[in-house]
Structure formats: structure tokens, C-alpha cells
Amino acid sequence: MKVLLVGGGGREHALAWKIAQSSMCQKLYCAPGNPGTAQVGENLPVRAEDVDAVVAAARDRGVELVVVGPEDPLAAGLADAVRAAGMLCFGPSTEGARLEADKAFAKELMRSASIPTAEARIFTDLEAARQYVLSRDQGVVVKAAGLAKGKGVFVCTEPHLAVRPLEQIMSERIFGDAGSTVVIEEMLTGQEASILALCDGRNIYPLEASQDHKPIGDGDTGPNTGGMGAYSPTPIVDDSVMTRVEREVLVPIVDAMRRSFGRYEGCLYAGLMLTHAGPKVLEFNCRFGDPEAQPLMMRLKSDLLEAMVATCRHRLDEVRLEWDPRPAVCVVMASGGYPGSYEKGFEITGIEEAEALGDVKVFHAGTAAADGKLLTNGGRVLGVTALGDTIAAARERAYRAVEKIHWQGAYYRKDIAAKAVEA
């Protein structure tokens, strides 16, 4: 079949790389893709957010399945438009995408389904929000309710530290309308894990667990980013945690969605804090994680396209996924300055040398090709991903690969998966 993959980041390169390996894949288009996806498919000059243009591009080329990588086009109704045009779509409806695009809605749905999550209050008025945080005596977490590219969350170890983020979000509108509503939560402590699952609206198929590293700095310091590295599997998610997450989180949320607006179809991502009182939901995303998809795709042995088609045809009960038992570690290399402002256009060298180490795949994110050269073109630039017999070996190999790659101002965390190695 002909497939159109929407998006152009590291997650999309990982998904494209895996979809292109399927014997079912006759042709893969990417809209807009990046130089990495161009190695395995054909990039189209179509913006991911341009719903009409994506649907037209797919229809004109006889595409049967559209796979949506990022959240913005899903929130804008791409999956509904693709289905209305008679094609299969891997990705939830606008309503389903609200689980990520509207944190206040997600919180209320979780409450109604008794899903364990941080206690929270929702505010649309800055003064009321300010008074609330100042009345608290413990750490709080301030979240812009709308989409903010993973940067809209401020963890404040003391209540007064929440005042400035509230002003920035609600008054200065640093995230635009995404900040017209804020969710203020109790601060949870524990280890974090990402559990992603394929969902066909009724059946749920959890993927192997992974762990992201959201803050920019080593030791989880500094502002949050889209994710600076990930690894899978993670020793903190054993069978009993997985069973609990399925029973207490995934099943009830999919049921709650079906009751309120219909089937949730696609990938459902639960970001969890494993607290002393059990797993609690930090957030839901309506898509694969980035960078979690990179180690997951490196470990997936089964045919991803077949599983996606089964999901769209509501036949997830027929799917069985096989995984490489070896762990994979992905280290994100970013532009110096990210998640703040940064320069683009620096030449990248060393990717071939990095991949020549073996069991290494360098996924492109913010890159651009020009005059036979590869240039930096975004905040997160590459996801350097390696397999190893142990997490320590995968980590060591990923960092050896990172050291082969150069551009001016390249930045990466030095401690991806370090906690898992110490554990």
C-alpha cells in the first residue's frame, strides 16, 4: 500500500524508517519529512498543519493510509478529514487529541474515570491563580493547558516560584492562547516512565516501556524541552507496574473516551510518575513520544505498518509485537541555546562514522540538506540511537556515536539513561 506519514521530526524519521521496512509498503511519502525520511521515502513540500493540503496530497497519490506523527495536525482535525475522504488514518480524532491539546479537559476526564493523577485546580484568571499558589505550602506544577511543544510546564519546588511562570503564561502569553487556561497541580515525586499503547477504540496493546529526559540540563536541571533522550526498556516498569497501568489508566481512559465521544484510534501515550502510592498520570499525549519512538522503533522486530493497519481496521486483537530484548538508548543532540533561541545553518559532519560503529542509527530531527551538505535546522537536531546487550552497553555505544558527530555549538546531555545504569 501507499502510505503518507505526516511530520518532520526525529519521531517521524524513526517511524518512516520502520514503515519503509514493511513488505506491505509499496511507497512512502512524508509531509514534509526531513533529510532522514528522504532516505527511505519521498518528501512532499506540504506543511503538516495544513489539513486540506495533506488530504489533497494523499488523495492525489492514491494513498491508503495516513500516519500522523505530531499532535498539532491531530488537534486541528487531520484524522477526521482523512477518514472523511475515505482513507485510513493512524491517529485520533480532534476529540481524542484533546486529551493532549487541552490539559484541563484531560484532567476532568481522568477525574470522571477515577484515574490516578496529581490533584489539580484549573484557572482562567491570573489573580485567582496567584492567590491559590500563594495559599499552598508545598511545591506546585504550573501547566499551560494548551499545546506548547513540551515547554509549557513549570515545576516549582516552592509555591512563590510559581508566580512568575503564571504571569508569563497567563498575562505575557508566551505560549499564546495555549496559556489562557492553566492547570496547577500538586508536585509529585518519583521516577518517570512513558507507556505508549496502540489503541483501536476498544483494544489496547501496550508497547515496551521507555523513559524520557525532559529538562535541558544534566541531573534534570533547567527548563523543560521536548525531550533530550530516551531509552527502552526501563527497569522501573516491571510486569506488576505494567499491569497496574493497563488496569488503572489505559483501559479506563479509553473507555471514558468511547463513552464521551467515540473510538480513540492510534497511539496513546501515558506519561507517568511512579509514586509511593502507585503510578499516577502526569500527562496524556495523542501520538508516539519524541524521542521515545526512536529507541522503540530500533527495538521493534515486528512489522509496524501491519500493526498500524490492524489498529485502523479495529483488529488490534490480532496483533502481536516482537521486541529485540536488547535495550536501546537515544541521545538527542541539540542546537546550543535550545530550548531558548538558537542559530541554525551549521554544517553537521560525522553521521556515517557514527553509524559505522554498528547497532547505531542516527535519526534526523531538525536538519536540512543544502548544496550536498547537511545543516542544522531546528532545536533538536539528531537522535543518536544505539542498541547494546545491557543499558550500560547501549548507553556507552550511543555516546561513542555522539562523539563522532560535530557542528558548531552542538549540545547534548551527558547523563541519558545514567539512572537506569546505577539502579
67 contact, one of ligand GLY, ligand AMP, none, CB 5-8 Å limit per kind: none
Residue of closest CB approach to ligand GLY: 227
289 contact, one of ligand GLY, ligand AMP, none, CB 5-8 Å limit per kind: ligand GLY
Is the Cβ of residue 150 or residue 165 nearer to ligand GLY in the bound state? 150
Q: Residue 16 corresponds to which cell in the numbers above?
A: 518512516
CB 315 within 8 A of CB 205: no
The stretch among 16-24, 286-294, 333-341, 346-354 that binds ligand GLY (CB under 6 A) is 286-294
**Which residue from 54, 82, 141, 245 is in contact with ligand AMP, where contact means CB under 6 A?**
141
Q: Residue 336 corresponds to which cell in the numbers above?
A: 546550543
At a CB cut-off of 8 Å and minimum separation 6, what does 172 contact? none
* Closest CA relative to residue 326, chosen from 356, 296, 354, 302: 296
| Minimum distance, C-beta of residue 212 to ligand GLY, in the bound complex (Å) | 4
Q: Residue 37 corresponds to which cell in the numbers above?
A: 525520511
- Label residue 190 left, alpha or beta by phi (over 0 means left) and psi (-120 to 50 means alpha): left
**Which residue from 43, 181, 210, 224 is in contact with ligand AMP, where contact means CB under 6 A?**
224
| Contact pattern for ligand GLY over residues 122 through 161, marking x by CB under 6 A | ----------------------------x-----------
Beta strands 182-186 and 120-123 are antiparallel
- Label residue 7 left, alpha or beta by phi (over 0 means left) and psi (-120 to 50 means alpha): left
| Minimum distance, C-beta of residue 52 to ligand GLY, in the bound complex (Å) | 26
Is the Cβ of residue 55 or residue 118 nearer to ligand AMP in the bound state? 118
Instruction: Write out the binding residues for ligand AMP, residues 277-316 only, by CB under 6 A.
Output: 282-283
3-state secondary structure of 135: coil
142 contact, one of ligand AMP, ligand GLY, none, CB 5-8 Å limit per kind: none
| Contact pattern for ligand GLY over residues 206 through 235, marking x by CB under 6 A | ------x--------------x--------
Cα–Cα distance, 164 to 306 (Å, whole number): 48
Q: Residue 196 corresponds to which cell in the numbers above?
A: 505508549
Backbone angles phi, psi at 55, to 5 degrees: -60, -45
With cell 506488576, the residue in question is 240
- Residues near ligand AMP, by CB under 6 A: 118, 141, 143, 150, 153, 155, 185, 187-188, 192, 214, 224, 271, 282-283
